[in-house]
Amino acid sequence: MKPGRQARPPARQALIIFGPPGAGKGTQAELLSKRFFFFHVDTGRSIERILYAPGAENDPVLVRERKKFESGELCTPSWVLSIMRDRVMRLALADVSVVFSGYPREEFQAFGDGKEQGLLDLLAAEYGKERMTVIQLLVPSEESMKRNSTRLICSVCGLPVMGVGSSDPIQVACNFCGGKLMQRSLDNPEDIRARLEVYKKQTFPLIERMRAYGIAVHEVNGVGAPYEIHETLVKLLELA
C-alpha cells in the first residue's frame, strides 16, 4: 500500500484494545485509524466535544456534567455510556469500522445493568459478534510504570513523546507543532500504580467475560516498537 493512503477494511468491524496504562492502546488505535479508516473512539475527546458544544450551557444535564469534568470528578457513568452508544449508532449507520482504546473500562460500561444497555450488546447488535475483536496488549507492570513515568506530552497538540524523562531533557519541543513538552500531572508513580490496580481489578476481568460472551480475544505482546505491534495487528485482523 502507498504511504499516506487509507484503506477501508474489507468489512466493517469493531475492535476493542485492552491493556494496562502505558500499553500503547491509544497509539495502536491511532495507527489503525490513520491507515485503515477505523474511527478511533476517544472517550475523553467525545465528552469534551459535547460539553463545550455551542448551546451546551442551556442544557441542565450538560451543565451538571461540565461542573464535574472541570473539577476533575468522573462524569456520571450512565451519561458517558449514553454518549458512547450514540457514537456507535452514528458510526454503524455510516458503515464505519470502530476502535476503542480506553473504553469499556469496567463492568457497567461493557455489560450495562439491566436498565442501561452496555456497549457490548450494542456493538453486537450493530456489528455482529463475529465482527468484534478484543486485543489484549501484554505489558509487564514494570514496563508500564517505566513508560508512564518517562512519557511527555505536547502542551499544545497533546502528542505523546515516549522514553523522555522530565529530568532528562533530550527533546524539549514537539516534533509535530514545536510546542513545549510537559509531563502529565497524572503520570506520577503513585497515580500510575493506582491506575494499574484499577486495571487489574476492574478492567482485566472483563476480558474473560467477553470471551464467554462469544467475542474473539487475542493476546498480543505489547513490548516493542509501536509499528511492529501495529504490523501484528494488521495480520491478525487480516487488513493487509
Please report, in range form, the residues annotated as the binding site for ATP. 22-27, 151, 224
**Considering only 58-66, 71-79, 138-146, 150-158, which stretch makes contact with Zn ion by CB under 5 A?**
150-158
Shortest distance, CB of residue 157 to Zn ion, whole angstroms?
3
**Considering only 35-43, 76-84, 121-129, 147-155, which stretch makes contact with Zn ion by CB under 5 A?**
147-155
Shortest distance, CB of residue 177 to Zn ion, whole angstroms?
3
d(CA 52, CA 194): 29
Nearer to Zn ion, 128 or 178 (CB): 178
End-to-end CA distance of the chain: 9
Instruction: Count interface residues toward Zn ion (CB under 5 A).
Output: 8
Handedness of CA 197, 199, 200, 203 (dihedral sign): positive
Q: Which long-range contacts (CB under 8 A, 24 or more apart) does 82-89 make?
A: 82/116, 83/46, 83/47, 83/50, 84/41, 84/43, 84/46, 84/109, 84/119, 85/117, 85/119, 85/122, 87/41, 87/46, 88/14, 88/41, 88/119, 88/122, 88/123, 88/126, 89/122, 89/126
Handedness of CA 100, 103, 104, 108 (dihedral sign): negative
Nearer to Zn ion, 172 or 240 (CB): 172
Residue span 151-190 as binding mask against Zn ion, x where in contact by CB under 5 A, dash where not: ---x-xx-x--------------x-xx-x-----------
Shortest distance, CB of residue 182 to Zn ion, whole angstroms?
11
Nearer to Zn ion, 179 or 226 (CB): 179
Contact positions with Zn ion (CB under 5 A) in 88-107? none
Nearer to Zn ion, 156 or 217 (CB): 156
Encoded amino acid at 47, one letter: I
Write out the residues near Zn ion by the rule CB under 5 A: 154, 156-157, 159, 174, 176-177, 179
